Amino acid sequence: MRQQFRDTALRLAGMDDKLILLFGDISVYLFNDFSRQYPGRLLNIGICENTLISMAAGMSAAGFHPVVHTIAPFVTERSYEQVKLDLCYNRFGCTIVTCGSSFDYAWDGATHHCYTDLALMRMLPGMEVMQPGSKREFDILFSACYRNGNPTYIRIAADEHGLDLPVEFGRGVVVKETPGATVTVITAGPILKNVHTACSDLPVNVLYFPTIKPIDRDLLMRFADTKILVVHDAFGLFEAVNASCPAAAEYHGLPDDFCCHYGTLTDIRGLLGLDAAGIRQRAGAML
């Protein structure tokens, strides 16, 4: 998905000379083509996430459409106050594109796990929060929002769900609708792949929300008379669903604990019951 970020930026930069990239010393080599084609429009500022965000606010004030890119925990958890005050409170538009969220850097351990980003960003007034699950979805969502004048958070993932869905900003998608179903499973991001597999022969509905804020309340309300199960390898979607849906949702995701294991994304998902088998067992128990 990071390659798609580069390709999308390359495409948009040709049409918009106010698009500018501020990087925290990652992905620079990957973006060599961008730097060659648009000299001076990718600024590798350094490993200083707080200043990256503050600078982006200033560049927005100066008329640019800044895009900040670095690793998820460092720019969301460390720089939360900069995002809150410099972007949201001061209402300066900026798109934050992160990698390394949830357990994409599983092997690096708990310092590099980031499952709070979506929840934290969602709580900030005016912030838009997105979790695309494929390259195509990233392209659609980024293109729709990067210059709308709002602070926007988009996390890009190492994984993809592999489905071709009609995604647009602010809208959820019905992945599966079973007539008479009493359970609706809701998810976001690449873990839809496991949810889709798990629910393939279960009599449930499956909804998918690549935009977590603003959540598609109209779609949620259509399924509000069913039992809701949110399956997500992060926090944020569960809270968004519960804030909008009259019936209390259940959550199948992360425990209140650090993940002190290494390995791969697949290993960690299996450990947490977020593989297809674990999800199937949890959803099946609600039937």
Q: Which residues of this protein are in contact with other proteins, per CB under 8 A?
A: 20, 40, 43, 45-46, 48, 50-51, 53-64, 66, 81-82, 85-86, 89-91
Strand order in the sheet with 205-208: 173-176, 205-208, 183-187, 227-231, 250-252
Smallest separation (angstroms) from other proteins to the CB of 20: 7
Q: Distance between terminal CA atoms of the chain? A: 35
Residue 24 phi, psi (nearest 5):
-95, 50
Smallest separation (angstroms) from other proteins to the CB of 68: 11
Nearer to other proteins, 86 or 139 (CB): 86
Nearer to other proteins, 83 or 265 (CB): 83
Q: Could you tell me whether strands 173-176 and 151-155 are parallel, antiparallel, or unpaired per DSSP bridges?
A: unpaired
Tokens of 268: 């960690």
Smallest separation (angstroms) from other proteins to the CB of 64: 5
Tokens of 19: 């698009």
Pick the closest to residue 232 from 213, 253, 255 (CA basis). 253
Nearer to other proteins, 93 or 172 (CB): 93
Q: What is the DSSP letter of 260?
A: -
Nearer to other proteins, 46 or 109 (CB): 46
Torsion sign across C-alpha atoms 31, 32, 34, 35: positive
Smallest separation (angstroms) from other proteins to the CB of 146: 16
> Which residues does residue 114 pair with via DSSP β-bridges, in sequence order?
102
C-alpha–C-alpha distance, residues 54 and 108, integer Å: 28
Nearer to other proteins, 64 or 208 (CB): 64
Nearer to other proteins, 53 or 191 (CB): 53
Smallest separation (angstroms) from other proteins to the CB of 213: 22
Other CB atoms within 10 Å distance of the CB of residue 137: 28
Nearer to other proteins, 41 or 171 (CB): 41
Smallest separation (angstroms) from other proteins to the CB of 105: 24
Q: What is the dihedral of CA 102, 137, 218, 238, to 10 degrees?
A: 0
Smallest separation (angstroms) from other proteins to the CB of 39: 11
